[in-house]
């Protein structure tokens, strides 16, 4: 049987500098993002991590719901980054998840722009970045990460893209504790890297499965079709349109034509 998540178990041997200075674990929460927002209002430490086994009102991107049944990893990390590194936070989060899944499972995930983690073109992890300015306080960013670990993807209900889980891909269960510890370590390392002024966008670009592919992008009410050609330093996607011009996509929902 899998080891239980506890604050002490997560902290055991955790050699991070910032991430995990405070850990809040509860077996069930509506959403780790809501708990994170309350922690920010109380002026919590940078690097505070909120983890749960199960969310009853998980939040996805673009106002969608995120299903987080038992067997998933649902966590949020609170950061107070300088404005200059804000565009890199999305890259820090997706690279950290990618390296963690590769290291712990040997599987070969890729990033679908901007921050879905895919295995064999199926979504195994979603990342939500929320931020804002606290009244009279510092700017904050909350990274929310949801990984389908030991669960049957059928139980996720109706979702916009085909989904998978690590256990579904491997045919065996994976230790969530090991995944969480390695993930926090990787977020810590990459966050320190970008804080020290070193860009990670080339590393991120190398792991993007979207480049060179024909894509369909929904940005607000607009739809664009083209070939995903490159990414800029700030993470925006450059789309070569049928007419030959380049269109910069800052945020949107991408469907890749494989």
Assess 113 for contact with ligand BTN (CB under 6 A): no
Selected from 55, 105, 168, 205, the binder of ligand BTN by CB under 6 A is 55
Smallest separation (angstroms) from ligand BTN to the CB of 116: 6
CB of 166 to ligand BTN, least distance (A): 15
The smaller minimum CB distance to ligand BTN, of residues 90 and 174, is found at 90
In the structure encoding, which two tokens stand for residue 94, read together? 């997706």
CA distance 174 to 56: 23
Closest CA to 172 of 106, 120, 98: 106
Smallest gap from residue 164 Cβ to ligand BTN (A) = 14
Rg of the chain, C-alpha, whole Å: 18
Q: Should residue 58 be labelled a site residue for ligand BTN when binding is judged by CB under 6 A? A: yes
Residues 21-40 that bind ligand BTN (CB under 6 A): 31-33
Q: For 3-20, what is the HEC assignment? A: CCCCHHHHHCCCCCCCCC
Binders of ligand BTN: how many residues, by CB under 6 A?
Answer: 21
What are 25's strand-pairing partners? 51
Asked if residues 117 and 109 have their Cβ atoms less than 8 Å apart, the reply is yes
Q: Quote the CA–CA distance of 38 and 36 in Å, as a whole number.
A: 5
Dihedral pair phi/psi, residue 37, rounded to 5°: -60, -40
Tell me if 210 contacts ligand BTN by CB under 6 A. no
Query: At closest approach, how far in Å is the CB of 136 from ligand BTN?
Result: 26
Where do we find the tokens 């909350």?
A: 142
Question: Considering beta carbons, is residue 68 or 165 the nearer one to ligand BTN?
Answer: 68
Using CB under 6 A as the binding rule, whether residue 153 contacts ligand BTN is answered as no
CB 60 to ligand BTN: min, Å: 3
Query: What are the structure tokens assigned to 40, written together?
Result: 């920010």
Number of residue whose CB is nearest ligand BTN: 126
For ligand BTN, which residue of 22, 26, 54, 64 counts as binding (CB under 6 A)?
A: 64
Strand 222-231: give its sheet, edge to edge.
246-249, 237-241, 222-231, 214-219, 253-257
Encoded one letter per residue, x for contact with ligand BTN by CB under 6 A and - for no contact, window 116-145 reads x---------xxx---------------xx
Q: What is the DSSP letter of 208?
A: B
Q: Does 48 bind ligand BTN (CB under 6 A)?
A: no
Instruction: Kindly list the residues in this chain that would bind ligand BTN in the complex (CB under 6 A).
Output: 31-33, 55, 58-61, 64, 66, 68, 74-76, 116, 126-128, 144-146
């Amino acid at each position: 049987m899998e080891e239980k998540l506890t604050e002490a178990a997560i902290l055991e041997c955790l050699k991070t500098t910032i991430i995990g200075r405070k850990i809040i674990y509860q077996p069930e929460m509506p959403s780790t993002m809501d708990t994170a927002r309350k922690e920010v209002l109380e002026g919590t430490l940078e690097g505070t991590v909120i983890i749960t086994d199960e969310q009853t009102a998980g939040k996805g991107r673009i106002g969608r719901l995120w299903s987080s049944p038992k067997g998933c990893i649902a966590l949020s990390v609170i950061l107070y980054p300088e404005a200059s590194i804000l565009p890199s936070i999305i890259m820090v989060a997706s690279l950290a998840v990618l390296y963690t899944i590769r290291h712990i499972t040997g599987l070969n995930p890729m990033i679908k722009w901007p921050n879905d983690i895919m295995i064999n073109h199926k979504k195994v992890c979603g990342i939500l970045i929320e931020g804002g300015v606290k009244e009279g306080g510092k700017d904050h960013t909350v990274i929310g990460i949801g990984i389908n670990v030991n669960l049957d993807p059928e139980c996720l209900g109706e979702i916009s893209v085909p989904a998978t889980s690590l256990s579904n891909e491997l045919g065996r269960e994976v230790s969530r504790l090991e995944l969480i510890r390695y993930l926090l370590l990787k977020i810590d390392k990459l966050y320190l890297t970008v804080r020290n002024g070193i860009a990670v966008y080339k590393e991120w670009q190398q792991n993007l499965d979207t480049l060179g592919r024909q894509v369909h992008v929904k940005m607000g009410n607009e739809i664009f079709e083209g070939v995903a050609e490159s990414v800029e330093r700030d993470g925006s996607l450059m789309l070569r349109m049928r007419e030959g011009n380049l269109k910069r996509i800052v945020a949107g929902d991408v469907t890749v034509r494989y």
